Amino acid sequence: MSSSPQSSVPEIHVAVDLIVLTLRGGELSVLLIQRDDEPHKGSWALPGGFIEYGEDLDGAAYRVLSDEASLGSGAVHLEQVRTFGAPGRDPRGHVVSVAFMALGADLPDPLRGEDVADARWWSVADLDGISLAFDHATVLEASIERARSKLEYTTLAVTFLPEEFTISQLRGVYESVWGRSLDAGNFHRKATRSEGFLMELDRHAAPTGGRPARLYRAGSGTSLVPPLLRAGD
């Protein structure tokens, strides 16, 4: 009885790419690194790297955050977006990348990591005309749309805010991520009627010239019922 030849295992590499988002000056901003190595040396790209042997996906994502963005695991909310694996997306071979969103409040300026020529925050609105390495423009677009969509039906918006915040600050998150103005009164009514979204505190923000605004914290819920839809304000 002859044995069948051992089938070859295709060589496919797995990587993670990080879409690190925060609000800076009221604008949705993304962290980009300038590559110091080929391929695409000198081009701007999302922070990322290959998964190391024995490492899980979340561990790889947190390692990249530390190495290329100088951010600890406690500074951001991390979640998977989707997987990108089109042949030819990386000239080094067949590379499948798992994209993660990393969202945080008032994240600091990055420290340049190894194999990085530069690292800085870019306003998403200023990226028109900037050619990103690999398929990172597609990855970024899909991730931002995921964030915009999740603001409609989850409590994701609070990850952009400090522990205590005002309704005006919360509305600012929605306006920055969605890229549109919202009616203040309608937003206040809809946000405060969603069960589990917000916890009202018995104190106010420091006065800034008008009536002091009530402070809130994130509630215990994870879903918005009813949702806050982009179709209307």
**Confidence band of 5 (pLDDT split at 50, 70, 90):** low
Residues in the chain: 233
Residue 88 has pLDDT above 80, yes or no: yes
User: Residue 4: is its pLDDT beyond 70?
Assistant: no
Residues 6+ apart with CB under 8 A from 162: 105, 106
164 burial class (0-12, 13-18, 19+ CB within 10 angstroms)?
middle
Domain residue extents for the chain: 13-137, 156-218
The whole-model pTM stands at: 0.92
CATH topology assigned to domain 156-218? Arc Repressor Mutant, subunit A (1.10.10)
For the beta carbon of residue 187, count every other beta carbon within 10 angstroms. 18
Q: What is the CATH number of domain 13-137?
A: 3.90.79.10
| Mean of pLDDT over the chain | 93
Assign 74 a pLDDT band (cuts: 50, 70, 90).
confident
Question: With 70 as the cut, is the pLDDT of residue 232 above it?
Answer: no
Q: H or E segment at 167?
A: helix 167-178
Strand partners, 48: 17
From CA 187, how far away is CA 232, in angstroms rounded?
A: 10
